[in-house]
Structure 1
Amino acid sequence: MGTVALAVTDGMLHFELSVAYEVFGSAPDDVPGPWYDLVVCGPGAVRAGRFRLEPDHGLDRLPDADTVIVPGWADIDQEPPAELVDAVRAAHEAGARVASLCTGAFVLAAAGLLDGRRATTHWAHTHVLAARYPQVTVDPDVLYVDNGSVLTSAGKAAAMDLCLHIVRLDHGSSVTNAAARRLVVPPHRDGGQAQFVTTPAPAPESHPLAELFPWVIERLDQPMTVEDLARQARMSSRNLGRHFRSVTGTTPLQWLVTQRIRHAQALLETTDDSVDAIAAATGMGTATTLRRHFHRTVGVPPDAYRRTFRSRVRPGPDGGPPGAGPAAERP
């Protein structure tokens, strides 16, 4: 799926660097086609935290990459190195998809790649990013933002979310699920999910919704209301809503719609079922209802989503690797 280049220099955060290396550096089992060619590009030997790193190439190789990942930048009080900023800008101008992890957004902003765009970074530093780069629309409440050729993530675990999101764009949900299983992490969290919730999630053994979630997932083809979920959880609708907000950061109805949309995405990627059939299988009722919710949530209609992802993950007519497919239109 092309070359992924990690753009490194002194002062990079080693956690985000390691996340990207793990996701893009090792293919999960049974990938139907080639994996990424991962390279590390830097100005020479660099230090990431307490670690010394020897890059494969200089920063001048970034424009040759298909995707450039900029890990977190440790000292946001300092301007990132000009040579890194220039190389990242040149890579984007050459057509590379550029993604920042955590405070790597400060590098993208310095390169002008976030001007007029929505972006995010670690919640503790969003106010600094917004003040320093007022031409950037900074969203402090999301895990990641996908602008197509420019992507940004929040901190730490959200870096993994964005990297798996990129894998999903390139390979589809089945391969992403396999990659997530290898890494022992959830395969997908919506980019619009809050970076944190005010009430911590309960421990798994005391999770008040632990039995409800799988019960719902097994019945997505059936009509369900919030009252149905409350009855199954043996609590009032108000109490259910309070627990959902604590555990998921959203409402029961929105969570249910999201599960239906995720199931629809998987069916669009892996089956030839009609949109009407998928609407029935996901409990959306009609194709019109599915299209409305799908477009609002994903940003493209179901048919466009299928064309994009099926062209990426299906083998070519000669049994060779999957085609690149058109880039998905993003919301």
Structure 2
Amino acid sequence: MQFTTPVPIPKSSHSIDYASKVVSLGSCFAENMGNKLDYFKFQNTTNPFGILFHPLALQKIIHKAVRQELFSEKDVFYHNERWHSFDVHSELSLADKTTFLENLNSGIGNFHNALLESSHVIITLGTSWVYRKIETDAIVANCHKVPQAAFKKELLSVVQIKESLLEIIGTILTFNPKTKLIFTVSPVRHIKDGFVENQWSKANLISSLQEVVHATESTSYFPSYEIMMDELRDYRFYAEDMIHPGSLAIDYIWKRFAETWISEDASSIMPEIDSIQKGLNHRSFNPQSEQHQKFLENLQNKILVLKSKYPFMEF
């Protein structure tokens, strides 16, 4: 499948197993990897405040969660018949203000606990481009389709990103010294910024991460972007928009991640979980047949065996 020598990735000595508790944060590629962890029934929390593309957005929400700083009315605004916050993704927005604030603040509590209990935090950075709200001079996580004239677009420098990353690392490790941080750069190309501008953005992220990861303990770098660019150099690995990685690419990058980060014990269980998942998704032409009923019984027995070992697994 690859077109060049595979990007070398050292095997981690802090592997993820079924006792691990993972938090996956960042861009839409974080959702892809989070979905894989969920599919194979790892204990995982993915983007509790939705997709966040740049390091300053992640820094702010991590800071709020660790310190349990709740959202208040000053943190939300009404636009296009829904309540939004510039600190979270639009998927959380609601028509009812009270419910919206309640959801945000329960999310703070859940995220606080997830970080406190985490064994691994995976952070995927998407872009160095940010939007600054002119009225408040604050950099936002999401513009929520507010007119572009309300914002000024800026590119974070390597120094700014490095400072933000060091703040993220310090905040998380002071709060939970036992967790391991895995950083990666999203292979999704932000072509709307421009072809040159996208490469500039990714270069700033990669330069910052390499400096920080090599200078700090409990941090690692996984080369998602490099695998996509150097191993999967063909548009058949892209989705229909020719921008996002397609299912083949996601499966391949997950395979490389699993080889690096998933423990041997967990890897030996994953095929059984995959078999169960495929069985649950199977649609019989004759659901009432004796053969199908035996198939379902066998499937439930497999699930019960797994749940006896790992009670947290839900199918």
| Higher RCO by CA contacts (8 Å cutoff, separation 6 or greater) | 2
TM norm structure 1: 0.28
